[in-house]
Amino acid sequence: RKWFAHYEQWLWSVRQPSSVVPVLPLTTTDTELKRKLFRTGCDAARVTKIFLDLQAKCEALRIPQCPVEGHVVLTRTALTVSLEYTGVVVECSAAHWEKLRQLHVRSSKSQKFLRNDAFCVLARLHALQGANPRSGGMQAALHGEVFDSLYNDFACLVECFASPLNCRWSRFCSAAADVDGPFGSLGSFYDFWPEEGSYQANPPYEPAVVATMAGHMDQLLHRAEECQKPLSFVVVIPSWPDEASWRSLQTSPFCTANVHLPQLLHGFCEGGQHYRASRYRRSNHDSTVFILQTAAGKRVWPPAAQKLRRLEVAFRPKDSVTST
C-alpha cells in the first residue's frame, strides 16, 4: 500500500481524543502504528528505531520558532492560484480560490488576511496528506447531487466532517478548526452538541474515527430522544461488517434505514479536488449509508423508499450518470 495513505490514516487515528488533527502527534504510545509496522515485516528492533526517530523529529519541531518575516505572495493563472510564503508554495484551482474567498467574506470581518488564512488552510491539508499530490483519500467528498438529495429529502444543511475546500454548505464542522475558523468552521464535530436538526456525516475512513463519531452521535441522539426533539444524521462510510464501528451503527436503536452501495455503482469527489485535473472518481469499496434518527426525527424526515432510491441514483459514478 502507498506510504502516504498509511501516513494519512496514522494522523487521523492518533487524533483521538483531540479536537484538532495533531500536526505533531505523540508516537510513544501509538499501538496502531506499531501494529501496522509489524504487519509490513518490521522486527521489534526496527519498529523501536522508527518510533525513536519519529519522536526525536517531532520533539525538535515542537521547539518554538521565531516568526519569519515575510508576506504571502499570490500568483494567478486562468486555471490556478498559488500562494507562496518563505519559499513554501501551495496551490488550488481558480474555482476553489473563489470558493475560499466567498466563505471568508461570510465568516470574517476583514478581508485583510485572506491570503494568510488561505495559505494556512492549504498548507495544513498539504501536511495532512504527507505533502504528496496523490494523497487525499481521507478528504474525499460526496457528489453535489448527493448533497442536493440530502437537502431536498432530509433537510440536511450542516456537514459534520468537512473543510473549507470540500464543503458543500457554508455551515460545517472540521478537524482543523484553528485554521478553518475564518472560513466558517463550527469547530470539531466532537465539540458540537446540537439538540435537534438534520445533519450529514462523511467521516475520514479510519475505524477509530468512525467509532468516536458513532459514540458522539449516540450521546446526542439519546439526549434528543429524552427531550422528544427531532434529530437526524445521514452517515456515509465504507461497508465494514467486520469492524465494530460499522456494526455499532447497524445495530443502533436509532438506525431507521440503511442503503448498501456496491463499489462499481457509486463514486465520490477526489480528496485533492482543489488541485487535481479530474474532480471525480469511482469508489474503491462498497459503502453503506446509515440513517440515524430519534422518533421525532423519523416523523419529520421519514426515510421513505423513494427517498432512498433517489439517494442511490445521486451516488452514481459520474461516467455512469453522463452516459444515461
Quick one: how far is CA 245 from the chain centroid? 17
pLDDT band at 54 (very low <50, low <70, confident <90, very high): confident
β-pair type (267-269, 73-76): unpaired
In the chain, DSSP assigns E strands to 73-76, 80-85, 88-93, 158-159, 197-201, 231-238, 255-261, 267-269, 280-282, 287-293
What is the grid cell recorded at 174?
472540521
* pLDDT surpasses 80 at 129: no
Alpha carbon distance 221, 230 (integer Å): 9
For the beta carbon of residue 2, count every other beta carbon within 10 angstroms: 12
Alpha carbon distance 3, 19 (integer Å): 25
Find, among 8, 267, 25, 277, the residue nearest to 135 by Cα: 8
Condensed to tens digits (0 to 9), the pLDDT of residues 98-112 reads 999 999 999 988 889
Query: What are the backbone dihedrals phi and psi of residue 205, each rounded to the nearest 5 degrees, phi first?
Result: -85, 70
- Sketch out the chain's domains with CATH numbers: 3-62 (no CATH), 73-128 (no CATH), 137-322 (3.40.50)
Whether the link from the prior residue into 241 is cis, omega within 30° of 0, is: no
pLDDT band at 227 (very low <50, low <70, confident <90, very high): very high
Alpha carbon distance 38, 105 (integer Å): 48
Q: Is 58 in contact with 23 (CB distance < 8 Å)?
A: no
Lowest mean pLDDT among 20-29, 60-69, 135-144: 20-29
Q: Is 68 in contact with 88 (CB distance < 8 Å)?
A: no
Higher pLDDT: 194 or 52? It is 194
Condensed to tens digits (0 to 9), the pLDDT of residues 173-217 reads 998 888 999 999 999 999 999 999 999 999 988 888 899 999 999
pLDDT of residue 48: 86
For the beta carbon of residue 299, count every other beta carbon within 10 angstroms: 10
DSSP 8-state assignment for residue 196: S
